[in-house]
Structure 1
Amino acid sequence: MSTTTDNPAAARVTSPPFPGVAVAAAMLLLLAGFQTLRAFLPSVIWYLGDSLSVPLLVLTALAVFASGLLVPLLRRFTSALTLFSLAGFVLIGARVVLQFSGSAPIDLVASSLGVASLMVILTTLVNGLPLQKADNGSDSRGRVSLVALSLGLALLADTAIRIGLGNYDLVWHRDPGSTVIVVVVALAALTLVTHNWTSVHKILPALNEAKVPGARSSLIAESAPTSAYGAASIGLTLMAVLTAAANQQAIGVAANPASAAIEGSAIEIPWLSGLVAVLGPAVGLGLGLWGTTRGRRPARWFSIVSGGVAILMSGALLAGFSLWGAALPVLGASLVCAIILALRPVPRTNSLHATWPRSVAVFLGFVGYLALSLAALYDVTEAVPVAGLVAGVCAIVAALRLGEVPVGLASGSGPNALRDEAGRFGLTGRVVVASITLVAVAVTCVGAIAYAPPSLPPARDHSSSTTTHTSSEPAQITVMTLNLHQGLDANTHVNLGGLVDLVRTQDPDILAVQEVNRGRANNGYNDVLAVLAAELDLPFLYGTNSPDGLYGNALLSRLPVTDWEYHHFDASSGERRGMLEATLSVAGTAEGPSTDLTVLVTHLDHVSGDDNVRGAQLDELNAIWDGRAPAILLGDFNTTPESPELAALGERGWTDALAQYGDPTATTFWGAPGGSEPESRLDYVFVTPGITVERVASVDSKASDHKPIVARVSVR
């Protein structure tokens, strides 16, 4: 066969570099895409939720996910590489806009464009992409598909960043350091995408001019397409791994150090849950790449085993076994391993009709992502194992359908010939992947340690002289109650920084919070409680109202805790509600010992009319309280001061602090967007005899859709 040196024009074609540029470009684009995806659902749910019904919200999201279905049509007018590059430019632009945006409408537009671009990129990748060839070897061992490698690395890096930041997504960080990082990574991604595009297009004219047989196939590689079943597992794997990481971080060993401290069991490794959460994708990436290097036939069986493990763990969770702590990392590892193997190359055909099955498969995988993410919001705890189960089945079917085709080998020059897969996964690739894995684990450890919730101070001995302060006056403390709106501000924009600043300004000793979202899809998988506790150095007690453990009420306190318990109300209109009961130790005076202060935190039902159960819930609350004094009751009662259920509280000895000692006309709820609900008073601080209210006020702040009530009280 002739070489490129036989012709002066061909001689101008230089030997291309290892196609790590394409892998890095795809990885950074997918990383930006994952962050944009997590901004997309909150924007749709919260900003459009007041004007669109649930079916229309779902259709809106599906329309954006369907953008990838345009790829087969657009391929008739332009090349796959051009589509990939243009979508990459749009995605990076949208990601940068999100970093600087403080507006819900801008979030919605930018995240929609970003997710649409992500779908185009993924669909293009699974259908194959022209790249520069690293070598012309024919050994299929050690070759890995571009989409599998970039997807695995992106998922690993993304998990490490999220856990390293305390489950507070980088897309919502507004500090200068985060912004600089995002801009630098965006510029790097744009540079790599541009280089990848120009390098191929610089070679093409010389090859066309050279007209040397075999020159194109020796310098231009095709990132081979993948199985449609592997493509279908992408969205499902993302849903399972992202949600599993949030669960692992929120309900793992570091989730509630306060309870462990009360029970006397010290937590030796507070960052363990964060580390375990990222080890799943890390182990899965390593196993998947190792399986790929074993060749086609061993890889097929390795894919079946990893998919089988995912199915086994998912089945165990569906069967009701309490395996969350152990199952989630194993599930994450097996799914990442399975998807890398399921995305192995398959024979290429030049027919554009062949792109439709894979394009539809990617779309259907994200339909599953959307359906299961929304199902989890309605307390369907089976969402994660169902995603793992279906993804595992897809991986096994993809492996079985590989057949005996020697993928990765050149086989002639006809229109249906197999092209050499881009780049051997050799020593350089292994070093890069190992380095990224080690950095990811290190980032996770450092971040998880930094964001580990602080431990409560030890309970005081009432008989000890060290429990008193020198003044003869009663101890004064600042209490605060705030509905967190799941981490969104009054403009339906995720803004955990605003919540932190608000609480830091008021500097409470006791902070009662409701609507605590610890990492669900509707707030971008952000653990609001962990961020507040770490940033404010406030230990917390947390009680969940949801089966997944990610939604409930919490109490953050500087005072020692001697006892606490979480109670669920029997009365309900559909959504489970509860009350957190804690006994805190307040320093005594120079003339007496410390005092036990009972603190109750609740969020009552929101339904009015014939289905109003708030009165019944307050009856249950009062029965648990049983008249102990001094006591403070804080929370969102979802009703106005003139309601009969609140009048009954007064008969039991509770005093509305704001109405009695502050401004009785003050409001605490900004009202719903669009005016569907007026500004009103829904939040309360009630006190019993033994507590003197020095001052109390509602604070005008739009860090949430509720205003906080802050009271300075003396405890006798």
Structure 2
Amino acid sequence: MEQDREHRRAARVLFASLVIVFGLQSMRFLFASLAWYLRDTVGIGVLDLIPIALAPFLLAAVLPIAARWVGFRNALTIGVFLLIAARLLNQIASDPGLELWFAAGATLAFVGLLPFLLTLGRSAIVAGVLIGIAIDSGIKGLGMSLDLAYQPGWRPVVAVAALGAALAWAFSALGGVRVQGVGWRSGLPLLGLAPFLFIQMLLLQNQGWTSAVTGVSGPTAQLRIAILNVVAIYLAHRLAGNRVVFIVSLALLVVTVIAAEGSAGLYNVLSVLAIPAAALVWAGIVPEPGTDRLGIASTYLIASATVFLIFGLAYYVPLDMSLGFEGAAVRIAAGIGVGILGLAALPNIPSFPAIGRADWLLAGVVAVLPIVAFISAAAVETTEKAELDEPIRFVSYNIHSAFNPSGTLDLDAIAQVIEDTRADVVGLQELPRGRLLSGNTDMLTLLQLELGFEHVAYFGTTDPVWGNAVLSRYPIVAVETDYLPKVGTPMQRGSLGATIRAGDREILVISTHLQHVNDSDLHDADPEADLLPVHQEQIAEILEAWSGRQPAVLLGDFNARPDWAQIGILLDAGWLDVWDEAGVGDGFTSNSVDPRYRIDYIFHTGDMAATDAGVIQSLASDHLAVVADLVFEG
């Protein structure tokens, strides 16, 4: 009898865990599809996207409502079937429009199933969420942060099918389930699911954020996260229910969220402590079911999932329009929200743990996946040049977050473009290291491993995980970063300076990205007049940081055409355009589908000369890469 009860409990925890895994994968994909397919490819405005984004979250209420009419078990069956089918179809589909629909369907099913998880018992939703996060992170770790949904070929399809089969088996093994719920007061802390998941996805489980802020390598960051997830579940097993531990954990979590863009040393320590702290907070705020009604839990959990979406929208929409606040304020609000809801749960923290020994052992098995990836990354062969080998080949490439003009993420295509150039030094723009808008993918680490660059430098401008990079075969001996003036525009831009050593010469390489639009109405009529006031100040900042040093190379997306005044400012300051020296043809770089403008450049100082320059034709990004060979004069 006791053994049967343990088997049912294990099945319920596994069921909840796999629901969480499919849910997190689907929500990440949905966020990216909204941004890159509907916004960029289809051209739907930001404000028009909001109701579309809300639809699957709000419509999820259909599942618990249906339980009143078709029965609890039948509604649960419908939700499980929809989640598995939509997630599998999302993996199989190649059309970005269909992928969006399937991701939305899987998200709807996931959100609708959340109240059903609570009816399986407190242990199912507490352990299920924590183990689900650990499994999801382990799977992403095996792909070095690249989600299964973005991985091509049959193997990811088989992996998703296997996860779906495991979910179906766990569902069949649930046994008899009775409806359980919470009251209005006791269930209030369930709203903490929204900031909890947002913080996990934005920060704690984010390989790129951890690496960018602390300075550890991407593979090391992912391995650390996987190990800490096991530790977190173990500590939740041992310490949940202790009010002092709960209060300390809550304070640690809030402080970590607030300090997430601060000191590297401080965040390095806090991020290690915050993953176990978050697990203890989650174990403390989930109430024990005490009613036989599903409605209140449904209201809280579906509302909480919708608030998660609102957090995500509020974090990224200010990059497109001025709202009076920035993403950092949303991040801090999520931390404060967890703190408030945690304090609300304090009087009613259950005195017994909801996590069993088998739960953290399962998380420990999953942690093997990032270990495999870590070993594989360590075995990657890199190419390094110590002595000067002329000409030095430079590449400038705005990779558009690796989303092609069709709205599909294809990092392999980006890597192929760069590899085909046989570049020595590459300057990248619009490179994400873990944005929710880009599937939380650490693209710098993936490109570095794929292309074998020994040395990289990165500067996150809008936040630590979106900005500019320099990849180099030559050693990088110094790095400097500079935020560019916003001049009333919503998006923070920046420039990254990496000094490379080629033999006995040191070359300053600056990768930058200027503002693309200021006033949309004026931009349509006269783009030069629209951008000139902004570009003048941004270029002045770049020139001041450069301070006339030679030799130097300035490359990037300048969002300005060759005959515009802002390019004239650079030329007057002493920079030379490689296209004027060695380019053939018009050199158009934008848009890659129908190139009409040259807005991406490679400039250099007068002690160097361009012997060749070209543009690489490709649809991997919405920009074309610029390539130039440079030699030293004299």
Normalising by structure 2, what TM-score? 0.85
Aligned length: 602
- Is contact 1:475–1:586 with CA below 8 Å preserved after alignment? no
Residue 400 of structure 1 aligns to which amino acid in structure 2? P
For 1:31 and 1:638, the matched residues in 2 are separated by 40
Query: 1:650/1:225 Cα in 2 relative to 1: closer, same or farther (>3 Å)?
Result: same
Tell me by how many angstroms 1:523 deviates: 1.1
After superposition, the Cα gap between the structure-2 partners of 1:271 and 1:236, relative to the gap in structure 1 and judged at 3 Å, is same
Equivalent runs, 1:32-43 vs 2, <5 Å = 32-43=22-33
CA gap 1:284/1:368 in 2 versus in 1, 3 angstroms: farther
Which of 309, 322, 326 is equivalent to 2:249? 309
* Paired amino acid for 1:695: D
User: What is the correspondence of 1:133-532 to structure 2 with a 5 Å cutoff?
Assistant: 144-193=122-171, 195-196=172-173, 220-222=176-178, 224-225=180-181, 227-245=186-204, 249-252=208-211, 256=215, 271-291=219-239, 299=241, 301-302=242-243, 305-306=245-246, 309-315=249-255, 318=258, 322=263, 323-349=266-292, 354-377=293-316, 378=318, 379-398=326-345, 400-401=347-348, 430=357, 432-448=358-374, 450-451=376-377, 467=387, 475-532=390-447
Instruction: State whether structure 2 residue 614 is matched by structure 1 residue 704.
Output: no
Identify the residue that residue 649 of structure 1 maps to in structure 2. 570
Partner residue, 1:636: 557
Change (3 A) 1:570 1:392: closer
1:568 matched to 2:483: yes
What are the superposed Cα offsets for residues 343-396 of structure 1, whole Å, 9 maximum, x if unpaired? 3432232xxxx3222112112222332232233334422434432332343344
1:530-569 Cα distance to aligned partner (Å, 9 max, x none): 21112212121112223x3122211000012233312223
Q: For 2:60, what is the secondary structure of its paired residue?
A: helix
Residue among 660, 670, 673 paired with 2:591: 670
Output the CA distance in 1 between the equivalents of 2:7 and 2:577: 73
CA distance in 1, matches of 2:541, 2:63: 58
Q: Quick one: which amino acid aligns to residue 445 of structure 2?
A: A
- Structure 1: which amino acid aligns with 2:511? V
The equivalences for 1:561-600 within 5 A come to 561-570=476-485, 572-574=487-489, 575-587=491-503, 594-600=504-510
Shift of 1:490: 1.8
Letter in 2 for 1:603: H
Structure 2 counterpart SS, 1:77? helix
Any idea what SS the aligned residue of 2:500 has? Answer: strand
By how many angstroms is 1:107 displaced?
2.2
The 2-side partners of 1:16 and 1:275 are apart by: 31
2:535, 2:212 → 1: CA distance? 34
Structure 2: state its 5+ residue gaps.
319-325, 518-526
Distance in 1 separating the partners of 2:5 and 2:542: 76
Distance 1:572 1:457, change over 3 A: farther
SS in 1 for 2:39: coil
| Partner Cα separation in structure 1 for residue 535 and residue 390 of structure 2 | 33
1:557 aligns with 2:496: no
Per mean C-alpha deviation after superposition, the further-off stretch among 154-163 and 621-630 is 621-630
1:65 aligned to 2:51?
no
Give the CA deviation at 1:571. 6.1
Q: CA contact under 8 A between 2:396 and 2:602: conserved in structure 1?
A: yes
Q: Secondary structure at the match of 1:681?
A: coil
Q: Which residue of 614, 618, 631 maps to 2:535?
A: 614
Shift of 1:653: 3.4
User: Aligned letter for 1:606?
Assistant: H
Q: Do 1:254 and 1:271's aligned partners in 2 also have CA atoms closer than 8 Å?
A: no
| Counterpart-to-counterpart distance in 2, 1:312 and 1:523 | 28
- Would you tell me which structure has more helix in proportion to its own residues? 2
The 3-state SS of whatever aligns with 1:48 is helix
Question: Quick one: distance in 2 between partners of 1:177 and 1:382?
Answer: 40
Give deviations 1:177-207, integer Å, cap 9, x for gaps: 43332232223323443x347xx5xxxxxxx
**Alignment-mate amino acid for residue 105 of structure 2:** L
Measured after TM superposition, the shift of residue 229 of structure 1 is 2.6
Q: Report how far residue 658 of structure 1 moved.
A: 2.9
Cα shift at 1:511: 0.6
Contact 1:488 1:704 in 2 (8 A): yes
Helix, strand or coil for the counterpart of 1:438?
helix
Q: Distance in 2 between matches of 1:542 and 1:17?
A: 48
3-state SS in 2 of match to 1:75: helix
- In the superposition, relative to structure 1, how do residues 281 and 251 fare at CA in structure 2: closer, same or farther (>3 Å)? closer
Counterpart Cα distance in 2 of 1:564 and 1:93: 48
Counterpart of 2:520 in structure 1 is none
- Alpha-carbon offset, residue 458 of structure 1: 9.0
1:505 CA displacement: 2.4
Residues 445 and 499 of structure 1, relative CA distance in 2, 3 Å threshold: same
For 1:289, the aligned partner's letter is H
Can you give the 5+ residue segments of structure 1 that lack an aligned partner in the other structure?
A: 4-13, 130-142, 201-219, 258-268, 293-298, 408-423, 461-466, 469-473, 588-593
* C-alpha spacing 1:236/1:93, structure 2 compared with 1 (3 Å): same
- Give the aligned CA root-mean-square deviation in angstroms: 3.4
**CA 634–225 in structure 1, closer or farther in 2 if over 3 Å, else same:** same
1:97 shift after superposition: 2.4
Percent identity at matched positions?
22
CA separation in 2, counterparts of 1:342 and 1:256?
33
Amino acid paired to 2:458: Y
The residue type equivalent to 2:280 in the other structure is C
Amino acid at match of 1:189: L
Q: Which moved more, 1:241-250 or 1:575-584?
A: 241-250
Q: 8 Å contact 2:137–2:205 — kept in the other structure? A: no
Q: 1:480 to 1:246 in 2, by over 3 A?
A: farther
Q: Which residue of 31, 45, 63 maps to 1:53?
A: 45
Deviations 1:473-532 (A, max 9, x none): x71222111112123222222222222222222221111001121112211211111211
Structure 2 counterpart of 1:287, one-letter code: L
